[in-house]
Amino acid sequence: KFFILWCLNINTRLMKKALFLLLLPLFFFSCNHKADKEQEISIIPQPVNLKKISGSFNTDSLNVIFMGVDQAALFNVAMHCKTMFEPVLGHKIEIVKGTGKSGQMVLDIDPDLGSEAYLLTVNNNLISIIGGDAAGVFWGIQTLKQLLPPDFEKGIRMDAFDIPCIAIEDEPRFVYRGMHLDVCRHFFAVEDVKSYIDLLVLHKFNIFHWHLTDDQGWRIEIKKYPLLTEIGAYRDETVIGRNSGEYDSKPYGGYYTQEEIKDIVAYAEDRFITIIPEIEMPGHSLAALAAYPELGCTGGPYSVATKWGVFDDVFCPGNEETFEFLENVIDEICLLFPNSPYIHIGGDESPKTRWLQCEKCKNRIENEGLADTHELQSYFIKRMADYIKSKGKSIIGWDEILEGGLANNATVMSWRGEEGGIAAAKMGHDVIMCPNEVCYFDHYQSKDTENEPLAFGGFTDCEKIYSWSPIPSDLNENQASRILGGQANLWTEYILDLDHIEYMVLPRMAALSEVLWSQPDKLNYDIFVKKLQNLTKYYDARGYNYAKN
């Protein structure tokens, strides 16, 4: 105080200047210190409420995880926790029933919190995670991981460390937070798919949309139709680049056996991620037609596509056998994905060229009293939707399923912009938003495309994703409630391996995770970018190949 008064009494300009220079570093020191403190807690996606408390919890004493309730799903989560801590702390951790004890960790469930919600509290002597359900506890653990040193991610022995005391209340904004992966244009091994699922976990996505069939390959074993994989899973060669006209002369293919599918489904389920399988119809079906040519309008012969695009040969809806085939396929799919409430049946980019020429299709149009081939498309989708409904599930389709009238319980995935989604929501249908401008992660993320790996085109960077709102402004509250959430799609025409997958989705999925999980009033791009500096340390520790631009 005296010092300041003395300063104020100094008259000469020189003295004032000298004093200013003297005090400047002090000022900066205090600002930086404050910034450091704010940055200390960096969590993506941003929680609903986060309160830093003084002090820390030391992991030295952590050797028991208490479970507040005896529940198989919670035990699962406790096991995840045990297996993540044990190798790093270098001692055994027991899982026991109980409400917690000093120096330990407790996991519990309080259904009043709601699905996927959690409270995470770290104080000097206890880590507590209470979830609305086991999924909530699991997401709480993902948050906890971001409070641990990044090296923890390496899963190797570390000295005991401090976890900052904190109180977090959190729940997702949207129930549907999806990531899609096309395994048809290029095939990814079981371990790669599991690694992709790990990326979803880290960013609190809960849906994996698995695009399993397309023109360039049928990738799932169907016992009743072995040719689907014997023939349909392989192509003779692949076009180079963007349909350059030149081919690589290398046979390419692969598929997942039903055992492998079950293994991946269990892996995802264990991590509270639902897999929605996509079986494309009526278009993008050349691989299936190559195996069973009688299901196409011309009868073939067909071959598995070797280039990208949209093909005229699609399933023939004039032929009863087509529906018998697809229903049998769906029967096996339902058994393989028992927990998915949805089957995605594609519906996109299905040219009407063959149908217009096909006698059987013309008969179908006449006998069913349909106006044209657009209504024939809708007949196709509605018939499959009814069948899938009889199996206790409902369909999702790309926004083309609006064509000629929407099936009763269809959920629309809006990809050609937001218009399809807006129309569907106004008609009272559920909607998942993935407009290609924002949600197509096969697009470039830098304008310097020369120095980027070949991509589909476009330009979608984190900032664009971050400023996107999944709820279009022209929907009223009731219509807006139909938007279940959003999804990023990863089409793999130009993506050949896991390394490249990581590059295309990281860190864009971090930006999308905040859009889908966090409350809109908590979104701040500048803060997000700062937090990203921290998250990339975790990416580094896991050895991820992420985009640095």
- Other C-beta atoms within 10 Å of 81: how many? 24
* Residue window 51-70: x/- pattern of binding to ligand TNX, with contact defined by CB under 6 A: --------------------
Task: Please write down the long-range contacts of 402-407, taking CB distance under 8 Å and 24 or more positions apart.
Answer: 403/374, 403/377, 403/378, 404/370, 404/371, 404/372, 404/374, 404/375, 404/376, 404/377, 404/378, 404/379, 405/375, 405/378, 406/378, 407/378, 407/381, 407/382
Q: Which is the catalytic residue, given 180, 284, 429, 443? A: 284
Among 398, 468, 538, 544, binds ligand TNX (CB under 6 A): 398
Residue 59 or 492 having the CB closest to ligand TNX: 492
- What is the distance between the alpha carbons of residues 312 and 295, in angstroms, rounded to a whole number? 14
- What is the distance between the alpha carbons of residues 473 and 422, in angstroms, rounded to a whole number? 10
Residue 292 interacts with ligand TNX (CB under 6 A)?
Answer: no
Residue 75 or 456 having the CB closest to ligand TNX: 456
Residue 519 corresponds to which amino acid?
Q
Nearest Cα neighbor of 178 from 199, 151, 161, 162 is 199
Residue 237 or 348 having the CB closest to ligand TNX: 348
Nearest Cα neighbor of 78 from 102, 58, 53, 98 is 98
Active site residue 294: no
Quick one: tokens of 371? 């106006």
Residue 148 or 407 having the CB closest to ligand TNX: 407
Q: Which is the catalytic residue, given 170, 182, 214, 442? A: 214
Residue 456 interacts with ligand TNX (CB under 6 A)?
Answer: yes
Residue pair 334/395 in contact (Cβ under 8 Å)? The answer is no
Residue pair 214/279 in contact (Cβ under 8 Å)? The answer is no
At closest approach, how far in Å is the CB of 67 from ligand TNX?
43
- What is the distance between the alpha carbons of residues 487 and 39, in angstroms, rounded to a whole number? 29
Active site residue 180: no
Residue 39 or 243 having the CB closest to ligand TNX: 243
Active site residue 260: no
At closest approach, how far in Å is the CB of 137 from ligand TNX?
35
Residue 348 interacts with ligand TNX (CB under 6 A)?
Answer: yes
At closest approach, how far in Å is the CB of 211 from ligand TNX?
8
Residue pair 515/468 in contact (Cβ under 8 Å)? The answer is yes
Judged by CB under 6 A, the chain residues 399 through 418 that form the site for ligand TNX are 415
At closest approach, how far in Å is the CB of 484 from ligand TNX?
18
Residue pair 84/59 in contact (Cβ under 8 Å)? The answer is no
Residue 349 interacts with ligand TNX (CB under 6 A)?
Answer: yes
Burial zone of 445 (CB within 10 Å; 0-12 exposed, 13-18 middle, 19+ buried): buried
**Size, binding site for ligand TNX by CB under 6 A:** 9
Among 139, 176, 440, 468, binds ligand TNX (CB under 6 A): 440
Residue 127 or 314 having the CB closest to ligand TNX: 314
- What is the distance between the alpha carbons of residues 110 and 517, in angstroms, rounded to a whole number? 20
Residue pair 158/149 in contact (Cβ under 8 Å)? The answer is yes
Residue 184 or 201 having the CB closest to ligand TNX: 184
At closest approach, how far in Å is the CB of 136 from ligand TNX?
32
Residue 444 interacts with ligand TNX (CB under 6 A)?
Answer: no
At closest approach, how far in Å is the CB of 214 from ligand TNX?
7
Quick one: tokens of 23? 């005090």
* Residue window 477-516: x/- pattern of binding to ligand TNX, with contact defined by CB under 6 A: --------------x-x-----------------------
Q: Which is the catalytic residue, given 198, 312, 327, 349? A: 349
Residue 491 or 528 having the CB closest to ligand TNX: 491
- What is the distance between the alpha carbons of residues 437 and 435, in angstroms, rounded to a whole number? 6
- Interaction site with ligand TNX (CB under 6 A): 348-349, 398, 415, 440, 442, 456, 491, 493
- As annotated, the active-site residues are 214, 284, 349
